[in-house]
Amino acid sequence: MDFPRECRNPGAMQALGRDLAGELAGGAVVGLDGDLGAGKTEFVKGLAAGMGFGGVVTSPTFTLLHEYEAGARTLYHLDFYRVGHGEEILALGWDELLEEPTGVVVVEWAGKFPELLPPEALRLRVEMQPSGERQLLCDSA
Ligand SMILES: Nc1ncnc2c1ncn2[C@@H]1O[C@H](COP(=O)(O)OP(=O)(O)O)[C@@H](O)[C@H]1O
Ligand SMILES: [Mg+2]
């Protein structure tokens, strides 16, 4: 997928998530950053749908981790926004999630604990323009 990408509405953000789904191998880790309301969860909705998940995707702000079964793969959706300490994430079995060969991990507010992400993680950032339009950028090396 090429970056940056313009997003004029939530549907366009979901479409970008669907596009990325086709490019992610098992074991992939995606970190999402951007302000509250930027569209990170919209992006994950598209990602889950693109992987074949037919259910409802909601923000794991309070529950920390949602699991979406998508055919042979599982999408693990986390949100670090309310996490006070990295230990809380490790206690979820974080290391096992990262090692699952059929798992894909996507993390909102990944930049709060960047040291938890493997170096090969795809780091994406949503920027809100004053016009309300969003831009999806890639911060990975
Ligand atoms: N271009 C856009 N891309 C994504 N979301 C948008 C866009 N324009 C408006 N929105 C709205 O902004 C909100 C984004 O919410 P959400 O995806 O939950 O943000 P975040 O997870 O980053 O806090 C949604 O209500 C969505 O409808
Ligand atoms: Mg969100």
**Whether this model's pTM surpasses 0.95:** yes
Residue 133 · residue 103 · CB < 8 Å:
no
Digit-coded pLDDT (tens) for 91-108: 999 999 999 999 999 999
80: amino acid identity, one letter: F
Tell me which of 42, 59, 124, 134 to substitute to probe ligand 1's pocket, judged by most ligand atoms within 8 Å of the beta carbon: 42
**Pocket around ligand 1 at a 6 A CB cut-off:** 7-10, 12-13, 34, 36-42, 59, 108, 132-134
Q: Which superfamily does 5-138 belong to?
A: P-loop containing nucleotide triphosphate hydrolases (3.40.50.300)
Q: How many CB atoms lie within 10 A of CB 43?
A: 28
Digit-coded pLDDT (tens) for 16-70: 999 999 999 999 999 999 999 999 999 999 999 999 999 999 999 889 999 999 9
- Can you give the pLDDT at residue 13? 98
Among 140, 126, 130, 139, smallest CA distance to 7 is for 126
